[in-house]
Amino acid sequence: MKVFSSSISFESKKENHLIDISIEVEREVRKSKIQEGVIFLFAVGSTCALTTIEFEPGLQKDFPEFLDKIIPAGKYHHDLKWHDGNGHSHVRASLLKPDLFIPFSKGELQTGQWQQIVFIESDNKPRTRKVEIKILGE
Amino acid sequence: MKVFSSSISFESKKENHLIDISIEVEREVRKSKIQEGVIFLFAVGSTCALTTIEFEPGLQKDFPEFLDKIIPAGKYHHDLKWHDGNGHSHVRASLLKPDLFIPFSKGELQTGQWQQIVFIESDNKPRTRKVEIKILGE
Amino acid sequence: MKVFSSSISFESKKENHLIDISIEVEREVRKSKIQEGVIFLFAVGSTCALTTIEFEPGLQKDFPEFLDKIIPAGKYHHDLKWHDGNGHSHVRASLLKPDLFIPFSKGELQTGQWQQIVFIESDNKPRTRKVEIKILGE
């Protein structure tokens, strides 16, 4: 059993930017030389999250529009105190959660063919972001 | 430390079918012969998900009705492009996420007495489904 | 590679009580003497959940208010059968999910500066709660 530690960094655009990180995740699995195991991804920060989605143009609009609908920008206790206008960003991130793991076998991710790994920027301004990575396996 | 790899497959009924996979998950832990560790479950595909629930007839209706309410079938950008009418299925799956882990001790799952492990079919037609499994522990 | 097993217990207040367990989680990582790895947290029970949030007074109201809005207390099939009035508590817990992992390096959690680990009590009465813990790493 081995532990491989790594991270990926990138620039996000503002709010509701979905970033497909599947290629980067596959690359980290390859770098680890681990064949059978699990890759653990963790979005650092309280206004972003991770999930999987079929990364096609329609859903890249549908999913953010859903978030806009159930958690609209507006009046939050957080904003009254901190005046950064991103109360909704925090609520969205806490709902979606920052952690996501993907199993892999023979060095290949076991996601479905139409199932990509996405980082969701929920903050109301562009950010430099980091996803911490641990790979456990043999 | 050991790694045990496995999977379970089953047929789902259409949309909003909740399938209790607790027995199958327990069986995989037993087969692994690992006593202390974590079982990692991953629903393959972009229109299904995993969570835990008290698996009784009332909640088997309540949870899908909640999903129908906040993410109704209808007009999605995804559907305009692909015409398969399952845009809402994708949004539900991305919200609920495909990954779930359960810790275990002395070979027994550490879930609560009223906390079963469920697969949620969100697609609008029956599917053959697979949950990929990795168990890490000793 | 090592496996460290543990748990934390505490009393919750009623519904919508957010409890910051970051200090306890850090303490368990320290106790494990593992330097590089992942801590796996699992909320036992079907009416509670785990996530991360910026734990400040505004969001401690905003997040529960969001849950109250999208999953209000009221008429659920679960309640008609069991008469405990907590159908919404179950739906909330299944939406948020009981599992959360945090990676750590050199014995330090890799969460962001404003990203605390929270237990969410969704039940409609105070409970004695337990979070099961496994730490895997080296």
Task: Show residues of chain B in contact with A58, CB under 8 Å.
Answer: 76-82, 87
Q: Which residues in chain B come in under a pLDDT of 70? A: none
CA dist B116 and B26 (Å) reads: 11
C125: contact with B, CB 8 A cutoff: no
Residue percentage of chain A with pLDDT more than 70: 100
B84: contact with A, CB 8 A cutoff: no
Across-strand partners of B9?
B130
pLDDT at residue B3 in the model: 97
In the predicted structure, residue C15 carries a pLDDT above the cut 90: no
In the predicted structure, residue C14 carries a pLDDT above the cut 80: no
The answer to whether B136 touches B1, Cβ cutoff 8 Å, is yes
**Of B5, B46, B136, which has the smallest distance from its Cβ to A52's Cβ?**
B46
| Chain B contact partners (≥3 CB pairs within 8 A) | A, C
Q: What is the pLDDT of residues B28-49, one digit of tens each?
A: 999 999 999 999 999 999 999 9
* Residue of A34, A46, C95 lying closest to B95 (CA atoms): C95
pLDDT at residue A116 in the model: 98
Residue of B nearest to C96 (CA): B96
Average pLDDT, integer, range A117-134: 96
Residue C38 amino acid letter = V
Contact A96 B101 (CB under 8 A): no
Return the structure tokens found at B7: 């999977």
In the predicted structure, residue A14 carries a pLDDT above the cut 80: no
A63: contact with C, CB 8 A cutoff: no
Average pLDDT, integer, range A11-27: 93
Residue A115's SS3 state is coil
> Which H/E stretch holds residue C82?
helix C77-82
C114: contact with B, CB 8 A cutoff: no
CA dist C13 and C128 (Å) reads: 9
Of A12-21, A40-49, B54-63, where does mean pLDDT reach its minimum? A12-21
CA dist C101 and C38 (Å) reads: 7
Which value does ipTM take for this structure? Answer: 0.97
CA dist C30 and C106 (Å) reads: 10
pLDDT at residue B131 in the model: 98
Task: Show residues of chain A in contact with B3, CB under 8 Å.
Answer: 1, 36-37, 137-138
Task: Show residues of chain B in contact with C71, CB under 8 Å.
Answer: 66
Q: What is the pLDDT of residues C68-83, one digit of tens each?
A: 999 999 889 999 888 8
Q: What is the pLDDT of residues A74-111, one digit of tens each?
A: 889 999 888 889 999 999 999 999 999 999 999 999 99
CA dist C89 and C87 (Å) reads: 5
CA dist A108 and B116 (Å) reads: 30
CA dist B83 and B85 (Å) reads: 6
Contact B78 A100 (CB under 8 A): no
Cα of first residue to Cα of last residue in chain A, in angstroms, is 5
Task: Show residues of chain C in contact with B114, CB under 8 Å.
Answer: 45-46
pLDDT at residue B15 in the model: 78
Residues in chain A: 138
The answer to whether C85 touches C124, Cβ cutoff 8 Å, is yes
pLDDT at residue B97 in the model: 98
Q: How many Cβ pairs closer than 8 A exist between chain A and B? A: 103
